[in-house]
Structure 1
């Protein structure tokens, strides 16, 4: 597979006037400042990601339901198999973070559509995000910076952050109340943000999506949390894929008037109409070093026709921040 280069993925976010970089500037938090904060908090591993550094590659396909055409004209839902490159990961820039850590897990997908078109999805296993703005994410990253004397975050700084950033509370509570999954294959993954589905009549429907594991949700017990080793997630996924296909159902929640559109920290009501629009199948998993997912910058604003972003400031900020991180990974910055 041809490796991605800076012009393919990074320059779009770094240089496009009026695009994500201009939008990010309006937030008054520079993308390079956030990436620098990640580097100062977690350190730098040359050639590696600045966030979600610990990960596992996988390959498979997605088959969308034609019934989704009611909401979107996206080629994802043609009913034909679409090749997928996936990456499963743990949040943060520490390559040695233990798999028992109570932090988010990620699933990033690159869909290879006909005509060389691409579509990306970058998701977490928490139903909401921990920041309503880039500023909150920056402040959290700075608060987590280890104290030189203890090697751990300063409790007082963390307390001050939590007291002054209520938008972080919902995700923090979810992580505290739910143990990590026993395997990447036993976790749901949420799109976090609200997106626009656009059909052939140009009608727009606000949606949020979730990938639900057909293997079922399974979390570590409190005892397993204490006794499990630091690196079980990758082998668990590899072993599971060797046994047979691993599948998730893509389920879309249909938005209604008044649902939060631009705040990923606020959940939609459970009563929202939910529609299964496709199935993701993973056929193989492998360590990321040298594998197909390693060079990909899973920019969430790489979207094919029929799906579009909302004005969520965190969603729009992610693209230029990813571009800066990607460029640094390649040694271009």
Structure 2
């Protein structure tokens, strides 16, 4: 049985997580704890994702700019079209979450490179994440569990969580100040984490990326938030692709000494050098059931040569719990 809907801003963490690498003892969190907490808070829909359950598939291509080869040897930047399977989504485990919720919107991409190699990118439409450490994400999901008497989270537990986890506040503040978009096509999507571009000589450069929409960034009005139905994002995305391709430019910020490398809750300075390295084009969108994106495990640590992870504990923590959730849904649980 699904839980009653939760307030959107409370879903600020927005992403499924996985297993820790080198975490401090007091912050040790297991994939089983995270997935169980998601199931306990949102309920379970057998055979479906535990987080970002509500989503829409899309297909298209990415064409990188060869100029990016000065930083990365990735085949993404060969200048040749690379097929892409995309998934646009809302956070949480409630398949009936309203599209008006003031929660993050997600974009997950699988780039199908020559020779069978894959590159994944798993992004949100917020410039920062809602947890610097896996324990914060786990504690937030636990705090969100509805009180049986009210069907809603206990306000006292939520306040206690906020007071004891200051790393959750930057993303929550962003969501509180920005209404959600009228379409998946009207959001920028941020890689959230810092990554490494690795060139042909092995030199690594710290980068953060975002995908900026050609259709422009837009927000729903307060009146639209009150009047729109619970489901409109999928229909609007499908309709938009029937009128022509959707495009996002991939912009990369080049890191400088002192920029936060392992903390996704901290934004980089806005004046960092930004370089356009390619364009994503989506030409078709469709309901996820039976479509190409449905069975993909969009693990952000699936990377081809030329792009590498940092030691960000949240980034490193995601992969094993993605795998656990994926195994459960493949087995019909």
After TM superposition, give the deviation of residue 24 of structure 1 in Å: 6.9
1:169 matched residue in structure 2: 169
Number of equivalenced pairs: 314
SS of the equivalent of 1:136 reads: helix
Indicate conservation of the 8 Å contact 2:183/2:233, yes or no: yes
Distance of aligned partners of 1:312 and 1:111 in 2 relative to their CA distance in 1, 3 Å threshold: same
Q: Deviations over 1:40-60 (max 9, x none)?
A: 000000000000000000000
After TM superposition, give the deviation of residue 158 of structure 1 in Å: 0.3
2:28 matched residue in structure 1: 28
Q: Deviations over 1:252-308 (max 9, x none)?
A: 000000000000000000000000000000000000011110000000000000000
| 2:257 paired with 1:253 | no
Indicate conservation of the 8 Å contact 1:62/1:280, yes or no: yes
1:271 matched residue in structure 2: 271
Q: Structure 1: which 4+ aligned runs deviate by more than 6 Å? A: none
SS of the equivalent of 2:21 reads: helix
Indicate conservation of the 8 Å contact 1:41/1:145, yes or no: yes
Q: In structure 2, list runs of 5 or more residues that go unmatched.
A: 1-17
Aligned positions of 1:29-68 closer than 5 A: 29-68=29-68
Indicate conservation of the 8 Å contact 1:102/1:180, yes or no: yes
Indicate conservation of the 8 Å contact 2:20/2:29, yes or no: no
For 1:218 and 1:201, the matched residues in 2 are separated by 41
1:139 matched residue in structure 2: 139
Q: Deviations over 1:177-220 (max 9, x none)?
A: 00000000000000000000000111110000000000000110
RMSD: 1.2
Q: Deviations over 1:232-251 (max 9, x none)?
A: 00011000000000000000
What TM-score does the superposition give when structure 1 sets the normalisation length? 0.93
1:303 matched residue in structure 2: 303
2:127 matched residue in structure 1: 127
For 1:294 and 1:94, the matched residues in 2 are separated by 16
Indicate conservation of the 8 Å contact 1:24/1:320, yes or no: no
Of 279-288 and 20-29, deviating more is 20-29
Q: Deviations over 1:1-53 (max 9, x none)?
A: xxxxxxxxxxxxxxxxxxx8572776510011100000000000000000000
| 2:121 paired with 1:118 | no
1:319 matched residue in structure 2: 319
Indicate conservation of the 8 Å contact 1:24/1:31, yes or no: no
Indicate conservation of the 8 Å contact 1:90/1:106, yes or no: yes
Q: In structure 1, list runs of 5 or more residues that go unmatched.
A: 1-19
1:6 matched residue in structure 2: none
1:91 matched residue in structure 2: 91
Indicate conservation of the 8 Å contact 2:19/2:29, yes or no: no
